[in-house]
Chain A
């Protein structure tokens, strides 16, 4: 039997996982609303959408306000209209890592590749700050999935005309949001 845990936000998942763990069985509604409010505002179809195309949640990983990563991709949410705009494929920064000497900090990125597999890669913090185009290049080389938004638009989302391509920019709000994607408690050793 498939078992899911529905709650109103990711941060309150409790002790059932370690920091940075992928919470595959957790479903949460869009930010700013609960399940009951979502049903009242958008109807049962919206709830079905957020269950079928769930938020990709990682324990103790806080996404920036307004950005939601679902299986269908990363979405910028508009609190006023409960609408959303897809900005890329599913990608998120989920952890920070360092070496044995506690230097060489790296950011751990999670994404789905074109074969549908979940993958992780690490990117030096130096590159995140100084050479964002290198980061973009490495990410593009790794083949992140950038397919159609699918059911993600079911909650009132409106895909951009070129939403079929993963868009990670060196400038602009998406890149700024991505750089500050998360603050988490998990560090682990490389090597």
Chain B
């Protein structure tokens, strides 16, 4: 899943829809998160592959929620974790995934 723990932070890659890593999301033990670089804040954390999945799930909530769904579905679905619901529209995720 490409998650790493560095010190007290969990680091997750932020990707665009071509699955290119465009930044990192840092989550501290309290659940607060930040993005680097700051302009990547709207990019989703992508779990799984958009090309191979038959189902894509956009998760609004904590990164733990996204991971729980990804694990429960057997790692076969493509999970987008977004910090804010508005990002679905802002990043064009919804339109681009639906085609």
> Would you give the shortest CB distance from B75 to chain A, in whole angstroms?
11
B8 lies within 8 A of chain A by Cβ: no
Question: A8 and B73: CB pair below 8 A?
Answer: no
> Would you give the shortest CB distance from B64 to chain A, in whole angstroms?
4
Question: A16 and B88: CB pair below 8 A?
Answer: yes
- Residues on A with C-beta less than 8 A from B53 are 1
Question: B98 and A44: CB pair below 8 A?
Answer: no
Chain A residue, CB-CB nearest to B55? A2
- A35-81 residues with Cβ-Cβ distance < 8 A to B are 35-36, 38-40, 44-48, 51
A174 lies within 8 A of chain B by Cβ: no
A5 lies within 8 A of chain B by Cβ: yes
Query: What is the number of contacts between chain A and chain B, taking CB atoms within 8 Å?
Result: 91
> Would you give the shortest CB distance from A18 to chain B, in whole angstroms?
15
A162 lies within 8 A of chain B by Cβ: no
- Residues on B with C-beta less than 8 A from A36 are 62, 64-65, 67-68
**B interface bracket (residues with beta carbon within 8 Å of A):** 20 to 34
Chain A 69-102: CB-based contact to B (< 8 A → 1; otherwise 0): 0000000000000000000000000000000000
Question: B58 and A35: CB pair below 8 A?
Answer: no
Q: With A and B bound together, what is the CA distance between A28 and B69 in angstroms? A: 11
B1 lies within 8 A of chain A by Cβ: no
Contact among A16, A27, A38, A45 with B68 in the assembled complex (CB-CB below 8 Å): A38
Question: A35 and B97: CB pair below 8 A?
Answer: no
Chain A residue, CB-CB nearest to B60? A7
Contact among B59, B67, B73, B99 with A48 in the assembled complex (CB-CB below 8 Å): B73
- Residues on B with C-beta less than 8 A from A12 are 60, 85
- Residues on A with C-beta less than 8 A from B88 are 5, 16
> Would you give the shortest CB distance from B74 to chain A, in whole angstroms?
8
B5 lies within 8 A of chain A by Cβ: no
B92 lies within 8 A of chain A by Cβ: no
> Would you give the shortest CB distance from B29 to chain A, in whole angstroms?
14
Q: With A and B bound together, what is the CA distance between A34 and B61 in angstroms? A: 9
Q: With A and B bound together, what is the CA distance between A39 and B59 in angstroms? A: 15
Q: Given A5-B58, A7-B59, A44-B71, 5 other A-B contacts at CB below 8 A?
A: A1-B99, A3-B97, A5-B59, A5-B85, A47-B69
- Hey, which bits of chain A sit against chain B, CB under 8 A? 1-8, 12-16, 27, 34-36, 38-40, 44-48, 51
The 3 closest A-B pairs by CB, nearest first: A47-B72, A44-B72, A39-B68
